[in-house]
Chain A
């Protein structure tokens, strides 16, 4: 109770910052929706189609709450995977690959041991290992982490397809892998009549843990300081290289855990084209940026983006439009969120106008 009071006080004291963030986010979302409609009209889709697409997107995307929560679970974790290194000033584009590796590792562990907790932990470790690899390349070899992450993502995609189709294929259904045994699947809980997947609870706990580590401990302070001003942090005696490695391990671990939770609670087996896993890494980046690089804000932005994705699937069912429309919207949101200076500019113009 005391903690909650403190939290509310904290929010009150930073009201201005939070309001500004919310303003930026809503401007970006609006800009993105407008540009998407303009693009659709430019491609000679009729205006009615575009508008009805939007109405389906927002009416159907956010109504099925249990599905929304389930869908947003891996997204929260991949968003954390991008967010934590970015607080230390690095870009972890490798969330996609870490997600794949975590998923497949936890599948194997769950298959052989039948224990969900062990599977989640090893999935996280596998993702963290991959993150560590990227960080080592960046810190000791000076390889741009974006390039190496994309190379590893694409290579892993093919290698994992190979592994699944050669060693893990289901003997009865050859186009998918062996399934997670029943004892290792994450149960569904009922909270006040709301069906909540256990994976979502894991994701919530993780983001709270991370928020605690980053904002309430010495380690978190060091991690954030070296992101804000590496030179000053180095002068203050922080070991920046070590901090970079740590942030990538935690970040990668989150993505790996996301893959583990997704396999254990939703898909239960992996198809040989990795369709069930594809794309969460990229969407996670969007969710992280939309959450304004805040571990708790990420929860809401993940819910919003997974609502868009679900709505996108409904668009495909109802109107026959491609569901990638949702990807387009997310992409434009990312671009327009990247321009903090323009909001500053808008603010200045508004002030001048008021005078």
Chain B
């Protein structure tokens, strides 16, 4: 029993990490008034670059840095297009998601001659704690993600800089009157959001599964978006939200393994074969239901998604 709980927590901590990083980044971006739907695509690109770099250099730490740089640059492109060129932010996000898969496949084919996934690459170490004859493994990036989101909360809510950022998202005209360069803030924060999301993608490759496959991101970018709304744009609550959503995923994986071991009554035996797909659907349904229940009470930044036009 205790073993099961430890396994589940350990798995949840792992699955929450990319969600937490991406949603913290997205909270910063959205607080400044830009909505970035392209998280999914940035994660894919972060993951594939970290896989390539880790494979070539053999050094996963360099891989993380490069993936963060890629995330930053896509975030900056996105930020430039939406802040300075007044592009439709949702549409750009959709475009980024689409082209990411195309680029990832081209790279996969170029480097390994494969379409589906990469061979295993070198990973970074894990912290392992023994609890009652089971290992609770904690990934260093998980701790990093929690620190990042606490810092982001502090900056957003307690500092002058945070006030300026929030002003850009609430009332850009007033912010401009305060002497803030609204578009520069938006550009920078979209870049930073991209940086975190790139790290989230790298985490999945170099600290978790150890290889890249095209289906690995699996909608996490959108779960992170759901988490942003769930947490009411508060990075501290985002930790809780990421844990809950991560837990749904971990629970589905856990159950799908458990049904293989335990004796099942005849009418449930389909769960071992074709019913495994139902466990795949579970996290998304649970996420959607959670968002539906919680969504009434949130307060969206007022200028979110609207380009700032100077008068």
Chain A interface residues toward B at CB < 8 A: 39-40, 43-45, 91, 93, 137, 141-144, 146-148, 150-152, 154-159, 161-162, 165-166, 282, 285-286, 289, 321-322, 324-335, 337-342, 345
Chain A neighbourhood of B287, CB < 8 A: 151
Check if B285 is an interface residue, CB within 8 A of chain A: yes
Asked if B99 and A142 make an inter-chain contact with CB atoms under 8 angstroms apart, the answer reads no
Complex CA gap A342/B84 in Å reads: 9
B92/A159 in contact, CB under 8 A: no
Once bound together, how far apart are the Cα atoms of A157 and B284, in whole Å?
Answer: 11
Are A321 and B109 in contact, with the CB atoms below 8 A? yes
Question: A154-B281, A161-B277, A166-B274 given as contacts; is B96 within 8 A of A335 (CB)?
Answer: yes
Beyond the given A142-B295, A286-B98, A322-B105, please list 17 additional residue pairs across the A-B interface where CB-CB is below 8 A: A39-B103, A39-B106, A142-B298, A143-B291, A147-B291, A150-B219, A151-B219, A151-B291, A154-B281, A157-B280, A159-B277, A162-B275, A282-B98, A322-B115, A331-B100, A338-B92, A339-B87
Q: Mark B84-121, 1 if CB is under 8 A from A, else 0.
A: 01111011101111111111011111100001000000
Interface contact A285-B291, CB-CB below 8 Å:
no
| Bound Cα distance A161, B276 (Å) | 10
Verify B284–A154 contact, CB threshold 8 A.
yes
In the docked arrangement, what's the CA distance between A150 and B101, Å? 16
B213 to chain A, nearest CB (A): 14
Nearest 9 A/B pairs, CB to CB: A328-B102, A331-B99, A334-B95, A331-B98, A335-B95, A158-B281, A324-B105, A341-B86, A158-B280
B118 → chain A closest CB, angstroms: 14
Q: Show 23 A/B contacts (Cβ-Cβ < 8 Å), sorted by A.
A: A142-B296, A144-B229, A146-B37, A146-B222, A147-B226, A148-B292, A150-B219, A151-B288, A152-B284, A154-B219, A157-B280, A166-B270, A285-B94, A325-B102, A327-B105, A328-B99, A328-B103, A331-B99, A331-B100, A333-B95, A334-B91, A335-B96, A342-B87
Kindly state the separation between the CA atoms of A286 and B103 in the bound complex, as whole angstroms: 17
* A154, B274: Cα distance in complex, Å: 17
Q: At the interface, yes or no: B278 with Cβ under 8 Å from chain A?
A: yes
Residue of A nearest to B108 (CB): A322
- Within the complex, which residue of A39, A143, A151, A155 is in contact with B295, where a contact is CB–CB below 8 Å? A143
Task: Say yes or no for B239: interface residue by CB 8 A criterion.
Answer: no
Q: How many A-B residue pairs have CB under 8 A?
A: 158
Closest CB in chain A relative to B22 CB, distance in Å: 13
Whether B127 is near chain A, meaning CB under 8 Å from some CB there, is no
**Are A332 and B95 also in contact (CB < 8 A) when A43-B107, A166-B274 are?**
yes
Does B81 sit at the interface, judged by CB under 8 A? yes
Say whether chain A's binding surface is mostly helix, strand, loop, or mixed.
Answer: helix
Residue in chain A with minimal CB distance to B288:
A151
B225 at the interface (CB under 8 A from A): yes
Binding site for A on B (CB under 8 A): 37, 81, 85-88, 90-92, 94-103, 105-110, 115, 218-219, 222-223, 225-226, 229, 270, 274-275, 277-278, 280-281, 284-285, 287-288, 291-292, 295-296, 298, 307
Q: Please, which residues of chain A bring their CB within 8 A of the CB of B103?
A: 39, 328
A330: nearest residue on chain B (CB-CB)? B98
A40 to chain B, nearest CB (A): 7
Closest CB in chain B relative to A286 CB, distance in Å: 7
Q: Which residue of B lies closest to A327 (CB)?
A: B102
The smallest C-beta distance from B28 to any residue of chain A, in angstroms, reads 18
Point out the residues of chain B lying under 8 angstroms from A322, CB to CB: 105-106, 108-109, 115
A342 / chain B contacts, CB cutoff of 8 Å: 85, 87
**Measured CA separation A144–B30 after assembly (Å):** 14
Contacts of A326 in B (CB 8 A): 102
The chain B residue sitting closest to A326, CB to CB, is B102
Chain A residues whose C-beta falls within 8 Å of the C-beta of B115 in the assembled complex: 322
A-chain residues with CB within 8 Å of residue B102 when the two chains form the complex: 324-331
A59 shortest CB reach to chain B, Å: 21
Q: Which residue of A lies closest to B109 (CB)?
A: A322
A339 touches B81 (CB 8 A): yes
